[in-house]
Structure 1
Amino acid sequence: MIFEAHYPIHPLLRKYIRYYYFVRVQQPDHLSNYLSFPNTTIPVNIHKNVDCRIAGDRATVSATPETKVVTISNGLRETPLYVTWNGSIDKVTIAFTAVGINHFISKNLPEAVSGHANVFTAWDGNDYTACLDKFYAVTDNRQRVKLLEDFLLGVYHPFDKSALLQQVIDRLCDFSQEMPVPEIARMVNISERSLNRLFHLHIGLSPVAYRKIARFRQSLEGKVVHDKFKRLTDIGYDSHYYDQPYFIRMCNKLSGKSPKALFKSVDKLADNNVIFEFIG
């Protein structure tokens, strides 16, 4: 299985998309199972010639001889997503920032992206179909990125809450000078209730939940990707968990594993942008 990372080319898209990654498997008898852990990106996954079955925190994607493309999105979540792939794979994932995806959909986020995973229909229409026809007619991933970006620029629209929400997210992710959510709300001149409502409409969860996920990802990436730490206590301290038992409890809640077990089990893929645990 080959994972290949690419990065946005157009300057506008660099503001809203972290990366793309491509996966190809040509063996028709391929089978893989993996866990995708909570993240602060909102992925949109475009699969060629598959059927999908989604039930709660489980998604099964299976190759089909029928010619069709299925697009699946993953919402922000506080527990892992269990994924099964059956058969050949030809897919691209667009990893949007939590705020960024709002510039490319015409409805509130929960109407387009819900739960751990859902079939994404926000782009359905002739332009998207034409884009995918061109996209899958070529095999070079650099050409595919260009075609995808032409489509994304065509559906882009300004999002008037973007700057406010990004400012709040930047504060939520500043663990060195952690600011309570009510204080952040006052900083951006809205009520805490209004801030929570905006987050649910455009991010998909509360500011408190977002901070919890961001802190988890910092600890995960600090150890697994950057190998900054040798001791678990250092990982927890760097991510400003209150104490070691709290760090372990939050890791168990978000990943289903202790920190030690998690860090030993995961794989780094696509320029270390993707952290999965393959099972079996």
Structure 2
Amino acid sequence: MSYVAFPHTNTCISLFKGVQIARGDLSLTITGGEEVKNEVCVEITGKYTQPFFVSYQGSFEEIAIIFKPLGASYFLQNDLITYAPSFSQALAVPHWHLHTERLFKETTLSKRIERLETFLLENLQKKEDALVKKAVYLLEDVEKDYTIQEVADQCAVSHKTLQRVFKRWLTCSPSAYKRISKFRHTLSKEGLQKEIKKLTEVAYESNYYDQSYFTRDFKKLTGISPKAFFKRVSKLEENEIIWEIR
């Protein structure tokens, strides 16, 4: 199976057994094989503002954890940018690797869930997050559509400080985060219903200035026009997962 993954504000950590992973220019090839059937690896996504292509080949095991925008940071010792500067990479943290080995030795789903929850609770950390939480909340407010400077002012920090904090916590700039967040809001508004709304209406509901601006921004994030996108993608998990099967 192959699919196209579109920009998201969330972070994914995937635990694999029995695969080799090859990374290209915005592409990920995950291949299972007899020669690696006992090997495990851990992959983490960073932020990306273009779609990337994922190809699954062969048989293997995978457990994916989808963290909300700030979530992954609470289970990692350092800033997220330390581990995920690119769209996808190996999570080079020894105790995550050791945990993955132990996890896949469990033979039942209930035992795996129990072990995973225990591991996450053991690694849960408190962090000084008030500034970035407030900034994320403001940037996700599509109705008010705050500028980056307005967000910085409301958080009582300089534009430069806000940029630095976002890079550390979310691996992207505030403006990139805002674009991705608005894109995801557009998808939730559209809903891929049988009675698809006019694209102009979707654009205005997500507070784009006009349809042409909406179309340009949409093409940057998906590589195709909104009309073509809504015809080709599928939604799963209560509209939280958006992808295009190839």
Aligned to 2:66: 95
Measured after TM superposition, the shift of residue 134 of structure 1 is 3.5
State the alpha-carbon separation in 2 of the partners of residues 176 and 134 from structure 1.
43
Aligned to 1:38: 7
Measured after TM superposition, the shift of residue 138 of structure 1 is 2.4
State the alpha-carbon separation in 1 of the partners of residues 183 and 133 from structure 2.
19
Alignment TM-score, normalising by the size of structure 1: 0.82
State the alpha-carbon separation in 2 of the partners of residues 41 and 120 from structure 1.
16
Aligned to 2:52: 81
SS in 2 for 1:44: strand
Measured after TM superposition, the shift of residue 187 of structure 1 is 1.3
Provide Cα deviations, 1:26-71, integer angstroms capped at 9, x if missing partner.
xxxxxx1110000010111111110000123011000022211111
SS in 1 for 2:143: helix
Q: Verify the 8 A CA contact 2:32 2:59 in the aligned structure 1.
A: yes
Paired residues in the alignment total 244
State the alpha-carbon separation in 2 of the partners of residues 70 and 227 from structure 1.
40
Question: 5+ residue gaps in structure 2?
Answer: none
Q: Verify the 8 A CA contact 2:149 2:159 in the aligned structure 1.
A: yes
Aligned to 1:55: 24
Measured after TM superposition, the shift of residue 273 of structure 1 is 2.3
| 1:122-161 alignment runs, 5 A limit | 122=93, 124-125=94-95, 128-130=97-99, 132-140=101-109, 142-160=110-128
Select which of 219, 234, 247 maps to 2:186.
219
| 1:243-254 alignment runs, 5 A limit | 243-254=210-221
Aligned to 1:272: 239
State the alpha-carbon separation in 2 of the partners of residues 219 and 86 from structure 1.
32
| 1:164-179 alignment runs, 5 A limit | 164-179=131-146
Quick one: which amino acid aligns to residue 200 of structure 1?
K
Q: Verify the 8 A CA contact 1:225 1:272 in the aligned structure 2.
A: no
**CA separation of 1:183 and 1:228: change in aligned 2, threshold 3 A:** farther
Q: Verify the 8 A CA contact 2:106 2:112 in the aligned structure 1.
A: no
Q: Verify the 8 A CA contact 2:15 2:100 in the aligned structure 1.
A: no
SS in 1 for 2:179: helix
Select which of 164, 167, 184 maps to 1:200.
167
Provide Cα deviations, 1:211-265, integer angstroms capped at 9, x if missing partner.
0000011112221367785211111111101100011111111001100111111
Measured after TM superposition, the shift of residue 159 of structure 1 is 1.1
Measured after TM superposition, the shift of residue 131 of structure 1 is 5.3
Quick one: which amino acid aligns to residue 218 of structure 1?
H
Quick one: which amino acid aligns to residue 259 of structure 1?
P
Select which of 194, 197, 201 maps to 1:230.
197
Measured after TM superposition, the shift of residue 81 of structure 1 is 1.2
SS in 2 for 1:176: coil
Question: 5+ residue gaps in structure 1?
Answer: 1-31
Measured after TM superposition, the shift of residue 73 of structure 1 is 1.0
Alignment TM-score, normalising by the size of structure 2: 0.93
Higher helix share: 2
Provide the identity percentage. Answer: 29
Quick one: which amino acid aligns to residue 124 of structure 2?
Y
Q: Verify the 8 A CA contact 1:131 1:151 in the aligned structure 2.
A: no
Is residue 240 from structure 1 mapped to residue 207 from structure 2 by the alignment? yes
Aligned to 1:187: 154
**CA separation of 1:134 and 1:71: change in aligned 2, threshold 3 A:** closer
